[in-house]
Copies of this chain bind each other. A is one copy, B any other.
Amino acid sequence: MKTVDMIVKAKHIFTMEGEGVGYIENMAMVIDRGRIADFVPVDNVDESYTAEKTLELYNHAILPGFIDAHTHVDICIARGLAQDTKNWMFYGLQPFENAMGIDDTRASVKLGIMEAIKSGTTTIGEFSIGVEPTCEFVEKSGIRGIMTETVRSLKERIYNPGELYEFDENRGLRSLEENIAVYDKWNNRDNGRIKVLFGPQGADFLSKELLMRVRDEAKKRNTKVHMHLQQGDRETEQIMMRYRKRPVEWLQGLGYLDDTLIAVHLTDCTEEEAAMVAKSGAGMVVCPGSIGIIDGLVCPSVAFQNAGGYVALGSDQAPGNNCHNIFNEMKLAALFNKIKFGNPEIVPAWKVLRMATIEGAKAIGMGDEIGSLKCGKKADFIAVDLNKYTMQPVYTRPMRNIVPNLVYSARGDEVALSVVDGKVIYENGKIVNIDEVECLEEIKGRVEGISMRAEKEFNEIAGTNFVFMREGKL
């Protein structure tokens, strides 16, 4: 008889091992020192193990926690303030982003991460200018964090359409130093629960020299480069003007595309370009909801997968998505591609669940540690309540409908339990390490200030949502 930290007795476990969803039935998952130690038939487990905490989850589906590989939770406090508009960055987001200070950011990351935890995300890949407030809340909340500080040398001023960006190399170097400082302070915190990556914002925002330098710093530390790639026609235009090549082709020529890279969006990539990135060994993050709302586009994740690459899901940001909920991204990833290809068989439910778990883990280079339930891996998992209407009824034969309903019917509130590194971070509707009421009050307390500071610029820009307000449409 061995004493362990936790035993999870379950009817339905989706391990995500193998080529599909790795379903096993009536098994107990044994957790010890933050890792999965064993799987034993439920009926026998008590003969071999005794635990501090035993969970009986017979009305639940147990699966790896979701990986939300690309987020900007630092602007979650602007949820719902920018969408339904062209030029989202300028007409939508800008007045509110400019109105935000550091205390707004602190409140913002809390909202985004709490929302993510409650909808089953156990790993969040944040990308911010000034990522430390997010590191702090990731540490406190218990979620796993893949943190990226933004590096860019863009000189901030208004650029006319077609005008080449100016670089300020000192500014760029300072942002790289900040990235290194965040790395030194936060990487491997709490037994490796927090990792720090390097974050060139995009090939158009840095000089070639700085772009290469960032990558060297990442490689030296054996960490990853997390970068937006060919994320719109503006980036393509900039790189064409500067180097006479399209971004993917140019980066390929520099030897920039390899397995150090996590490439986000690929919005303006052709299928051939997406395949080129995939074949380099780089991972991809696709953010269906965000790019659907912001650009009305479906990014080439299917071409990337067809070329052998791994694709993770990302919720991106709340002012233009408008949520941090991987259930939303799963459904949209499947449906958008069915529509893009006019084919209901494209991106089936099991494939998209793999993107949210094991394939997502591989895309961000953590496939050996998380993303599936396997002995030796970190114990990051969730339990989904099958008694919720959206998951009812449950069939196991001739066909199991649990995975289709996770992807197409579940909304997020079915998540009943969330565990990271073997520690419960969410249970019975409550985030364990967080005073949710206090956080929510803090968030509410920031609204008035942002409203006041944003008003002038919002009115001056006079974008789509300004017009909607004037016309009584909102």
Contacts and interface: CB of A to CB of B under 8 A. Distances in A.
Interface of A: 18-23, 77, 79-81, 83-86, 88, 95, 111, 114-115, 118, 289, 292-298, 318, 321-323, 325, 327-328, 332, 334-336, 338-346, 348-350, 387, 389-390, 392-405, 408-409, 411-413, 440, 443-444, 446-447, 450-451, 454-455, 458-459, 464-466, 468-469, 471-474
A339 to B, nearest CB: 5
Contacts of A23: 472, 474
A137 to B, nearest CB: 14
B344 A86 contact: yes
B474 A80 contact: no
A469 B402 CA distance: 12
A35 to B, nearest CB: 24
Contacts of A458: 398-399
- List the number of copies, as a whole number: 2
Given A348-B84, A471-B20, A298 B408 contact: no
B389 A114 contact: yes
Contacts of A455: 397-398
B335 A468 contact: no
24 contacts: A19-B472, A20-B474, A21-B472, A22-B472, A80-B401, A80-B402, A81-B404, A115-B389, A289-B408, A293-B334, A293-B338, A295-B342, A318-B409, A323-B409, A327-B411, A349-B474, A389-B440, A392-B440, A394-B444, A398-B458, A398-B459, A398-B466, A399-B458, A403-B474
B335 A293 contact: yes
Contacts of A21: 472-474
Contacts of A474: 20-21, 23, 349-350, 399-404
B344 A405 contact: no
B323 A390 contact: yes
Contacts of A297: 339, 342
B296 A399 contact: no
A335 B20 CA distance: 29
A412 B336 CA distance: 21
Can you list the 3 inter-chain pairs with the closest CB atoms, starting with the nearest? Answer: A80-B401, A20-B473, A84-B348
A443 B327 CA distance: 25
Contacts of A346: 296
B398 A115 contact: no
A77 B393 CA distance: 6
A341 B86 CA distance: 13
